[in-house]
Amino acid sequence: MEKEELQAIASQLKHPTGEKGIEMANMMHETNINMTRHSFLNLNIKGGNTILELGHGNAGHVAFIFEQAENLKYYGLEMSELMFQEARQINRNFVSQKQAFFSLYDGNKIPFEDESFDKIVTVNTIYFWQEPEKLLSEIYRVLSQNGVFCITFAEESFMKQLPFTQFEFELYSTEKAQQLIKKTSFKIVDTETQTEKVKTKTGELVDRAFTTLVLEK
C-alpha cells in the first residue's frame, strides 16, 4: 500500500470525516466491540450511575450500556463532528428520552463540572491524545470521589505490525501506559491483558492483545 493510503487510514481512525469516515466507523464498531464491552463491564456500572465516554466513534454500543442497570445517564464526548452526528442519529431514542447526551470538545478541556461522573471510559483513543497528562488531569477532575475510570487500548506489540500506525499513532505497551498513569493522581487498581481473534482487512483471523487499566482516585 502507498504511503498516502496508509496515512489516510491513520487520519480516519484518529478523526473520522466524510463518506469514508462513516464506513470506517462501522468497521471500528464491529472490530472493537469486544474491547468496548470489556471496558464497560470493568466499570462495574450500578443503577443511577452517570457515565462519560471519550471518543465513542459511532456509539453503536450505547444500547448495551443501558442493559447494565436502571436509570443510567450516558454522556459522550468526541472531537469528530461526523462521529458526534452519527452517534446522535444511531442513539436518537436515548437522546430524545434524555438518557444519552453527546457533545463535541477540543480533546483537552472536558466541558463539565468537577466530580460530574461516577464512571469514565475510553477505548482506542489514547494513541491520539495530544497532551496525555493534561487530559488525564481533566478526567481526574470530572470523576467523582468513588468513581472508576477505565482506559482500554490495543498493545503496542500488536499495533506496530499494522503499517498505518507509523502515522498519527502514539503506541502504548502496558508498562508505558502504567508509567504515564504514575505521573498522575490516579491509583491503578487493576491491569488486565487479553488476547482476542480479530479479522484483518483481507479476512484472515489474527491475535490481538489489548489491555484495560482500571483506575480510581
Ligand X SMILES: C[S@@+](CC[C@H](N)C(=O)[O-])C[C@H]1O[C@@H](n2cnc3c(N)ncnc32)[C@H](O)[C@@H]1O
* Of residues 20-49, those binding ligand X (CB under 6 A): 28-29, 32, 36
- Which residues lie closer than 8 Å to 171 by C-beta, 6 or more apart? 127, 156, 159, 160, 165
**Location of C-alpha cell 465513542:** 56
CB of 28: closest distance to ligand X in angstroms?
4
Considering beta carbons, is residue 45 or 83 the nearer one to ligand X? 83
CB of 80: closest distance to ligand X in angstroms?
4
CB of 92: closest distance to ligand X in angstroms?
19
Q: Where are the alpha helices (DSSP H) in the chain?
A: 3-14, 18-42, 62-66, 81-90, 92-96, 132-142, 156-159, 174-182
Among 125, 165, 211, 212, binds ligand X (CB under 6 A): 125
**CB neighbourhood size of 51 (10 A):** 24
By CB under 6 A, residue 124 contacts ligand X: yes
Residues that bind ligand X (CB under 6 A): 13-16, 28-29, 32, 36, 54-57, 77-80, 83, 107, 123-125, 128-129
